[in-house]
Amino acid sequence: MKYVFVNGFFVSYKLVAQEYTFVESYHPNITCCDTFLKADQTAYTAQISLWAPVEILIPTVSKVKNTGCDLAYPTLCIPSSPQV
């Protein structure tokens, strides 16, 4: 990982600490490897950013019988197209 500083701010560390990048070390840039790994583990343990839990909504299909609603729209009652 390259070390990026902007106005004294260690951008590379912040990206790792907030889990917006992965820790990869290449010679000669290995000085901060342990610091990055600790920050990565802390973010993982705290489940922040990329590790944060995500709510997954699974749609349910209700079975509507003889109401004239189009079954292609299970959460709305939209009349079926007239059969020609």
The answer to whether 49 and 19 are in contact (CB under 8 A) is yes
Report yes or no on whether pTM surpasses 0.75.
no
What are the tens digits of pLDDT across the range 41-84?
888 888 877 777 888 887 766 554 556 777 777 777 877 777 65
Instruction: List b or e across 35-65, with b for residues whose CB sees 16 or more CB atoms inside 10 angstroms.
Output: ebeebbeebeeeeeeeeeeeeeeeeeeeeee
Rounded to an integer, what is the distance from CA 42 to the centroid of its chain? 17
- Longest CA span, the chain: 74
**Contact at 8 Å (CB) between 20 and 27?**
no
pLDDT tens figures, 4-18: 889 988 998 888 888
pLDDT at 12: 87
